[in-house]
Amino acid sequence: MTATAQDADAPAAAHFRFFALEVLRTRRLGHSFLRVTFGGESLADFRSGGYDQSLSLFLPPPGHEHTVLPSTDEDTWFGAWRGMPDEERPVMRSYTVREQRRTDGGVDEVDIDFVLHGDTSPASHWAGRAVTGRRIMAIGPAVAENKSVRFQPPAATDAIWMYADETALPAAAAILDRLDAGTRVRAWFEVPHEDDRLDLPTLADADITWIVRAGAGRERTEQVLEALRSGEPASAEAPYAWLAGEAGTVRAVRRHFVQERSVDRRAVRFTGYWRLGASEEELLAEAYAGQAPSEDPASEL
């Protein structure tokens, strides 16, 4: 979806708004992945910038079929949401848009891919029980040019290097889906199971290595680094690296590219989608307190 001049001129506060989403259908993609397709009249105003476009979902707490928020006003929603009783407060989770489209019948749809790992997280619990007609709320893009699209390769980029674990694989897949024919891509994708190695359509000239996880913690990170060191990418004058997944592993991969492959740190976009040992509530609290680590490509390692 192409941004308009009006999009670019929109004030920052107008870049995002609430959307009411209704489950249309679900489809299992692999051992760990479930695609939920959402519809809803408000999606006519949804403007995904594509690539790794993110949004915030508000999932109903256990025992509730639909999401109910006390306010969707730009100035009051956060305080009203935080002030709800714990047992009634919808759970906020960040996800990426796998695809947005308008069907031949004029219906606007958005696909979001969830990682399933039992009932150990609210999102996995909800997605595993999602049925047609369930309604949730989301804060998403109202203009295509917005700060929640982090994949921004410079014009001079001559190769894309990527790392993603299963939490970032939907974003990586959306990036591959939109790249121009002939774009050189070297990618390493980490997944927990053999049958999580998905078919990822792309016009790009993509060389993908799948890393099936065999350990946890430091052992897991070393497995990823070993795969990167043994998989030499084609030479490039101006590579751009996009890295996303568990924060500790992402930092190690970024250090590998900058220190071992001499990639300009300004050409490395890195995002910690989650952190081992921390809940998303803790990460949200850090972000709102200004304690979250910088994702500025020029920041120090």
Non-local CB neighbours of 160 within 8 Å, separated by 6+ positions: 153, 175, 179, 183, 184, 185, 186, 187, 204, 239, 240, 241, 242
According to the per-residue pLDDT averaged within each range, which of 265-269, 284-288, 289-293 is highest?
Answer: 265-269
What is the per-residue pLDDT across 177-229, written as a single tens digit (0 to 9) for each? 999 999 999 999 999 999 999 999 999 999 999 999 997 878 999 999 999 99
Any idea where the domains of the chain sit in the sequence?
5-141, 159-288
Q: Residue 12: its pLDDT value, please?
A: 57
What is the per-residue pLDDT across 230-260, written as a single tens digit (0 to 9) for each? 988 878 999 999 999 999 999 999 999 999 9
Q: Residue 299: its pLDDT value, please?
A: 46
Phi and psi, residue 177, nearest 5°: -65, -25
Q: Residue 202: its pLDDT value, please?
A: 97
Confidence (pTM): 0.88
Burial tier of 115 (Cβ tally within 10 Å: 0-12, 13-18, 19+): buried
**Which of 3.40.50.80, 3.40.50.720, 3.30.497.10, 3.90.1720.10 is the CATH number of 159-288?**
3.40.50.80
Q: β-pairing, 108-115 with 99-102? A: antiparallel
User: In the predicted model, is pLDDT for residue 283 greater than 80?
Assistant: no
User: In the predicted model, is pLDDT for residue 292 greater than 60?
Assistant: no
- Write the CATH number of the domain with boundaries 5-141: 2.40.30.10
